Amino acid sequence: DGGITQSPKYLFRKEGQNVTLSCEQNLNHDAMYWYRQDPGQGLRLIYYSQIVNDFQKGDIAEGYSVSREKKESFPLTVTSAQKNPTAFYLCASSPDRVDYGYTFGSGTRLTVV
Amino acid sequence: KQEVTQIPAALSVPEGENLVLNCSFTDSAIYNLQWFRQDPGKGLTSLLLIQSSQREQTSGRLNASLDKSSGRSTLYIAASQPGDSATYLCAVRDTGRRALTFGSGTRLQVQP
């Protein structure tokens, strides 16, 4: 079955640590996205990538970094510069056509301990 | 900058009722609008995608309408069931950028 796989489902980070969230898709989609969701709020865009080796900052990119070395993979690193990283992180993908919708993964819940 | 608002923030109804969820957006220059469902602690499931040239889309008991000129969309759920309990999010894809802009969602509870 085609879809998006996010791992791990739960992640705990100590103060000062960098952690990386995985996102893999087998839908052959060109574009991939990372969103952050806080309780009771909508999703906010962190980064997105339309093609391999290219990505753009979203609305809240500070303290995060990404890479897009392969079409099917778009990992997100939460760095120590992100002061409030506790949130639910969602990865999505879509064909690079504006008339297509998005497909989302099941999310990673990150908690600072 | 596009802003998306969903009203109400929460809604509780008895089973069997028909209900309407509202979504408004500030910039009418959009490609499409997508409605999603989110269960607690889960990812988003796409319900309906409505293009800017369309007025409505239907899937089973769900019907989404779009009035692009007034910046409004509604999601109509017929004969609600307890299994419909979830948070419903609307998102628009506007011509200004490639990524979706989301509303804060409507949390729906259907009482048996």
Tens of pLDDT, residue by residue over B9-48, are 999 999 999 999 999 999 999 999 999 999 999 999 999 9
Rounded to a whole number of angstroms, the distance from the CA of A72 to the nearest CA of chain B is 18
Q: Is the pLDDT of residue B98 over 80?
A: no
**Looking at residue A40, what is its pLDDT?**
76
B31·A99 Cβ contact <8 A = yes
On whether the CB atoms of residues A35 and A47 are closer than 8 A, the answer is no
Instruction: Please state, in angstroms and rounded to a whole number, the distance separating the CA atoms of residues A53 and A18.
Output: 22
Dihedral sign from CA coordinates of A43, A44, A46, A49: positive
Chain A touched by B93 (CB under 8 Å): yes
Output DSSP code: residue A62: T
Instruction: Using pLDDT thresholds of 50, 70 and 90, give the confidence band for residue A97.
Output: confident
Query: What's the average model confidence in pLDDT over A80-104?
Result: 91
Computed on alpha carbons and rounded to an integer, the radius of gyration of chain A in Å comes to 13
Structure tokens at A11: 């992640």
Chain A touched by B24 (CB under 8 Å): no
**Which residues 32-71 of A are in CB contact (within 8 Å) with B?**
33, 35, 40-45, 48, 50, 58
On whether the CB atoms of residues A18 and B78 are closer than 8 A, the answer is no
Instruction: Please state, in angstroms and rounded to a whole number, the distance separating the CA atoms of residues A74 and A2.
Output: 16
Supply the mean pLDDT for chain A: 93
Instruction: Please state, in angstroms and rounded to a whole number, the distance separating the CA atoms of residues A90 and B44.
Output: 9
**Looking at residue A1, what is its pLDDT?**
61
Beta-ladder partners of A51: A54
- Using CA atoms, how far residue A13 sits from A17, A109, A113, B40, in Å, is 6, 11, 6, 22
Beta-ladder partners of B13: B110
B43·A90 Cβ contact <8 A = yes
Chain A touched by B5 (CB under 8 Å): no
Q: Is the pLDDT of residue A6 over 80?
A: yes
**Looking at residue B1, what is its pLDDT?**
87
Position A80: which residue type? S
Chain A touched by B49 (CB under 8 Å): yes
Query: What's the average model confidence in pLDDT over B74-91?
Result: 97
Q: What is the DSSP pairing of strand B10-14 with strand A64-66?
A: unpaired
Q: Is the pLDDT of residue B93 over 80?
A: yes
On whether the CB atoms of residues A72 and A26 are closer than 8 A, the answer is yes
Nearest CA to B44 among A101, A96, A75, A50?
Answer: A101
Supply the mean pLDDT for chain B: 95
Query: Whose structure tokens read 């739960």?
Result: A10
Nearest CA to A58 among A73, A46, A67?
Answer: A46
More confident residue, A25 or B1: A25
